[in-house]
Amino acid sequence: MTNKFAKDSYWMKSGIYTLLQRVSELIFGFGSFWMIIRILTKEDFGVWVLLLSVLALSEVARLGFVQNAQIKYASGSDEETQSKILKASFFLNFAVTLITVIILAALANLLSELWSAPKLQYLIYMYCIGALIFMPYLQFLVLMQVKLNFRGIFFANFVRLSLFFSAVLFHFITGTSVSLYQLLLYQIIGTTISTLTGYIQVRKVFVLSRKLDFEWVKKLFHFGKYVFGTNLNSMLYGNVDQIMIGALLGTPSVATYNAASRINNFVEVPLSSISTIVFPKTAERIKTDGVAAVRYLYERSVGLMLAFIIPMTIFCLLFPKFIITIIAGHQYSDSIPILQIIILLSILRPYNRQSGVFLDAMGKPRINFITVVISLIINVISNFIFIHFFGLIGAAYGSLIAMVFAITITHIILIKDLSIKPWHSFIYAVRFYKEGFQQGLEILKKRSK
């Protein structure tokens, strides 16, 4: 049982490509950030951070109605059913994208005034054009996930990220200035080319039924509305600190806080990699073996996440100044105390992430949605109070309190339904270290002979 993951070809193949994808996201994403934070002023970088937060909130709507619903119902279904689901999903994708673009265009001026960032308004208008390109790109990625084509997902994302990175690298090496409008244009161009790459990967399986089955549209919509609400609230939950800092303290403070929170990019690699693999497998196991069969999957996946995160957390707590200097430079030394609070949050993030994933896979998106809404409200209130009394570091305190509450609620539900034991995940984490150490010794022994 201890070597189950290593022996299972699904976990090996999908795990390698998914990990490669997350590593490429980390390298290109962090590399782009590392250069941009040194090219832009604190004020412009703060505007860029707020823009990305707004874009992430808009994209989460499509993810909610397209990704989880399609994966849940299409996984394990016959080809005819999959073609009906795909067409219904594509229809929802188009409708949600159109609505999102209209809402963003209407709110652009209001948001720019809220954050005292005039450039933001025109950047949002520019993104509205790019959102139409992102629509088929997302559809192709979800279809590849349904087909367990993690190789294709890796290549499509690699193209998008590497093109943007290369454009920023050119400005950094040549010492030429780059505007916020140019940065967004580079992202749109990268997404356009990667959409073509994604189509090449799915062209043989991208089969739409002749008629639009409105029963499937309704089914996907009713499942997706809770997932969308949950994802939207989760995204707000993760960005509310920066949103409120921008409104209360200004864009330079957003830049300072974001420099510290960038450590989450490193934490996100194991979290996203494991979650991406676990969700479709969990949906499949529930169909074949029942809800009780996924308890081991939950405890093991969280344990694997902790095994990656714990060493990183310890290192950041011991050497925070070194980390900030490497990430953002000496001019962001005021981010050091914020980093020390944020890194403590990373220990809790595997529990927070997987509890939502498993509630969705168990067919309980409504419960997940309600929990996230309540947590979001607590996060907004706690951030407002702590920012008011403690300044910038108060945002980190507020986020910590909100996450503790969210994990407590979701795990009461999971303990009741799955009989999970949260502390078992730490046991699995230790076992991963032990197994890794033993395998390392075996390799050394073989080489020494």
Each domain of the chain, given as residue ranges in start order, spans: 4-448
* Average pLDDT score, the chain: 83
Q: Check whether 257 has a pLDDT greater than 70.
A: yes
Q: What is the pLDDT of residue 109?
A: 93
The pLDDT-based confidence of 14 (bands split at 50, 70, 90) is low
Check residue 236 and give its pLDDT: 80
Asked if 280 and 75 touch (Cβ cutoff 8 Å), the reply is yes
Read off the tokens for 114: 């809220």
Confidence of residue 2 (pLDDT cuts 50, 70, 90): very low
Is 88:213 a contact under the CB 8 Å cutoff? yes
pLDDT, position 85? 85
- Beta-carbon contacts of residue 165 (< 8 Å; ≥ 6 apart): 28, 31, 32
Selection from 213, 206, 225, 215 nearest residue 65 by Cα: 225
Q: How far apart are CA 143 and CA 88, in angstroms?
A: 13
For 424-437, give one letter per residue: b (16+ CB within 10 A) or e.
bbbebbeebeeeee
List CB contacts of 279: < 8 A, sequence separation 6 or more.
Answer: 68, 71, 357, 360, 361
Nearest to residue 282, comparing CAs of 3, 7, 11?
Answer: 11
Dist. CA 424–CA 199, nearest whole Å: 42
User: What pLDDT band is residue 179 in, cutting at 50, 70 and 90?
Assistant: very high
Q: Please tell me the predicted confidence (pLDDT) of residue 181.
A: 95
Of all residues in the chain, what percent carry a pLDDT higher than 70? 87
Residue with token string 């947590």: 375
Instruction: With cut-offs at 50, 70 and 90, classify the pLDDT of residue 382.
Output: very high
